[in-house]
Amino acid sequence: MNAKELKEKLYYQKKNGLLKVDDVTLKAVSDYCEGYKNFLDNAKTEREAVKTAVALAEDKGFKAFDRSKTYKAGDKVYFNNRGKTVAFAIIGKEDMEKGVNITAAHIDSPRLDLKPNPLYEEIELALFKTHYYGGIRKYQWPTVPLALHGVFAKKDGSVVEVNIGEDESDPKFVVNDLLPHLAAEQSKRTLSDGIRGEELNVLVGSHPFKDDEGSELVRLNILKILNEKYDIVEEDFLSAELEMVPAYKASDVGFDRSLIGAYGQDDRVCSYPALTAILDITVPEKTAVAILADKEEIGSDGNTGLNSDFLLHVIGDICHTQGGDVTVCLRNSKCLSADVNAATDPTFQDVMERRNASFVNYGVVITKYTGSRGKSGTSDASAEYVAEVRAMLDNAGIIWQTGELGKVDAGGGGTVAMYIANLGVDVVDLGVPVLSMHAPFETTSKLDVYMCYRAMYEFMK
């Protein structure tokens, strides 16, 4: 055996996935991503993602779970947690105590939330105060056209939905920034301090209510418009969840259309694959569960986050219908935590360690551990479980790679993996590499998105 042959036998070979696939696969990739872009445009918030996902699932025969019923293999149910987190399940041929296969992704994304009392007027302009949600780089958000999504919950129990800025004809909103001519002082600030939290104020109007008497007539006029449109008064902002998100739609990126650019791809780029995979499954061997969760970007806390007992109770409820024990079930269960990793950026390669970084078009990424410093704050999947996932991917011809989240001590991050691991379930992160993660416009590769779908399907089928 010469060196070339020996290398082929022994080396871990990496190759661009686009050089491995045929035209039939490329067509499937492109078709699949049209649906994905559509999902991105219709599901910019966790509430909209749940609504969109439930509608798609109901079309495929999923019904709200009923604890008093008995279910047979192939039955499809969902658990809607406050309209912000949803779990879909298809009952498997095997008993629940044999374990379930879980895919878990999140549907919340970084954004600007309105403060409880947001509206104010300065120099005859009306603005909203915001409180950013998740890890944003604040300087990226000014001068981006924004849309307002969310709900007002009124004292009479009614909930009014808001979605303004998405239609071509809708008005948009914007955080303004200084002109370069007058930014001499601001430009001396560090990048992280370039735009401060209390400077992320959104312009929402300038037309005063016509009256010679009185102050703050612009603010008054805005409230008059909101009252006419939504039947709300200013106090109703106190019980609202209103989110400012980028107003543009998802689009192809590049002359060759090989990439997708959009807001909120972390983590809808894994949510959509997990969702469409479970929608395409008929009767799985083991019960399949796909969960789309809220609150990941702020630490998974709260009753719609995966650090709550929601998933435990979902699995417990299904076990209950079979007279099975949830502890035994969890001990035998497996999970793919479907979340993004950082793709290597050609301009910023120095934060990556090339041998252990993920690359666009190299397929879905296995991330054995996330966390920061000395692997703090991660579940670190076992070697045995990673081997199992490798075998599954290779046997199905799925293009995949591995990645760490940047160089040692360069930073770090986390996913929902460790909260599911804490239930005693085997978990590893598997997701799509993203460029400009958490920015108002994130970039992914179509091939990687499709490979994520195939991995989710293979795991749950």
Number of neighbouring beta carbons within 10 Å of residue 452: 32
Closest approach, Cβ 145 to Mn ion, in A, equals 22
Q: Phi and psi (nearest 5°) for 328? A: -65, -40
> Where does this chain touch Mn ion (CB under 5 A) — which range of 27-35, 52-60, 217-225, 265-273?
265-273
Q: Phi and psi (nearest 5°) for 171? A: -70, 155
> Where does this chain touch Mn ion (CB under 5 A) — which range of 16-24, 61-69, 177-185, 260-268?
260-268
C-alpha to C-alpha distance for 281 and 273, rounded to whole angstroms: 12
Closest approach, Cβ 106 to Mn ion, in A, equals 6
Compute, in degrees rounded to 10, the torsion defined by CA atoms 424, 298, 340, 356. Answer: -80
Closest approach, Cβ 42 to Mn ion, in A, equals 19
Pairing outcome for strands 76-81 and 63-64: parallel
Number of neighbouring beta carbons within 10 Å of residue 381: 23
In the complex with Mn ion, the residue whose CB is nearer, 97 or 266, is: 266
SS3 293: strand
Tokens of 318: 């299904």
C-alpha to C-alpha distance for 391 and 275, rounded to whole angstroms: 23
Residue nearest Mn ion (C-beta atom): 267
Site for Mn ion in 344-363 (CB under 5 A): none
- Spatial strand order of the sheet with 251-253 comes to 251-253, 259-262, 442-445
- Using the rule CB under 5 A, which residue among 41, 46, 97, 267 binds Mn ion? 267
Closest approach, Cβ 110 to Mn ion, in A, equals 7
Residues with Cβ within 8 Å of residue 182, at least 6 apart in sequence: none
**Cβ atoms 219, 119 nearer than 8 A:** yes
- Using the rule CB under 5 A, which residue among 339, 426, 429, 442 binds Mn ion? 339
In the complex with Mn ion, the residue whose CB is nearer, 321 or 358, is: 358
Q: Which residues, in sequence order, are bridge partners of residue 244?
A: 112, 148
Closest approach, Cβ 340 to Mn ion, in A, equals 5
- Using the rule CB under 5 A, which residue among 41, 108, 121, 266 binds Mn ion? 266
Closest approach, Cβ 244 to Mn ion, in A, equals 18
Using CB under 5 A as the binding rule, whether residue 404 contacts Mn ion is answered as no
> Where does this chain touch Mn ion (CB under 5 A) — which range of 116-124, 262-270, 322-330, 366-374?
262-270
In the complex with Mn ion, the residue whose CB is nearer, 121 or 267, is: 267
C-alpha to C-alpha distance for 50 and 270, rounded to whole angstroms: 14
Closest approach, Cβ 393 to Mn ion, in A, equals 21
Closest approach, Cβ 26 to Mn ion, in A, equals 27
Binding track over 296-335 against Mn ion, x by CB under 5 A: ----------------------------------------
> Where does this chain touch Mn ion (CB under 5 A) — which range of 51-59, 214-222, 263-271, 368-376?
263-271
In the complex with Mn ion, the residue whose CB is nearer, 137 or 320, is: 137
Residues with Cβ within 8 Å of residue 365, at least 6 apart in sequence: 341, 358, 400, 401, 402, 403, 429, 430, 431, 432, 433, 448
Contacts with Mn ion, residue ranges (CB under 5 A): 266-267, 339
